[in-house]
Structure 1
């Protein structure tokens, strides 16, 4: 198992409520290096910080999460991305997975247990 305390995580979302909840959950799971961004552009501008994991929103102001996902994967394909959205759209989900998202998380249905399970699977990944 990997030690999450030394890995950087990004939360890329323009919803401050969701960001705060997710950050608190990640801190409870052991993350100490969490960066939050309100736009996809800010995420890409800081991608050089080499996050191991990115929670990425679909709809953010001018940003489209699918476009940001492709840019992230072009930078470093091994970054684990959890695509988060309030939009229940099968085509968006399929596109997110095709573009390299490891998970597709509906915000309205997200639970602490589900996020914990995603992190546990991430810890077991042989890539990092």
Structure 2
């Protein structure tokens, strides 16, 4: 297994079918260190496990994806958060990125490919970041 596929990944989706589907897609890609949560609160309560990537459903009952995203960014800005949504709304995608999401993926037939692409980009960034000694917020600015 490629060493970068050992990263800790959290999945958060209140739809059990989508949660299982996404988890299986990650397993098929070789990512075995995956924790699944059916709501944002459980995800936030487990951030001490130090996930490196969080795939986060946008529309959830109770605590919304935006709420979880904002709290993750406050707790640990080094976590890569990828929003997953059934909404093809440009404003929602822009807001996700504005609040600190790394990417915005629309659920559907191409979801697996888009997840793989996002993880490849994240892995590339992680390799570069490990080579530098700058604080994370400074390192991310170098990509802009």
Give the alignment's TM-score, normalised by structure 2: 0.81
Deviation at 1:108, TM superposition (A): 2.6
* SS at 2:129 equivalent: coil
| Inter-partner Cα distance in structure 2 for 1:57 and 1:15 | 9
Whether contact under 8 Å (1:8, 1:53) holds in the other structure is: yes
Which residue does 1:12 correspond to in 2? Answer: 12
Query: CA RMSD for the aligned pairs?
Result: 1.6
Matches within 5 A, 1:1-128: 3-108=3-108, 110-125=110-125, 126-127=128-129
Higher relative contact order (CA 8 A, sep 6+): 1
Which segments of 5 or more consecutive residues in structure 2 lack a partner in the other structure? Answer: 131-144
Whether contact under 8 Å (1:38, 1:60) holds in the other structure is: no
Give the alignment's TM-score, normalised by structure 1: 0.91
Deviation at 1:5, TM superposition (A): 3.8
Q: Deviations over 1:41-99 (max 9, x none)?
A: 11100011100100001111112111110100111111111101112222211111011
Distance 1:60 1:98, change over 3 A: same
Deviation at 1:109, TM superposition (A): 5.1
- Structure having the higher Rg: 2
Length, aligned pairs only: 127
| Inter-partner Cα distance in structure 1 for 2:82 and 2:95 | 13
Q: Which has the higher strand share?
A: 1
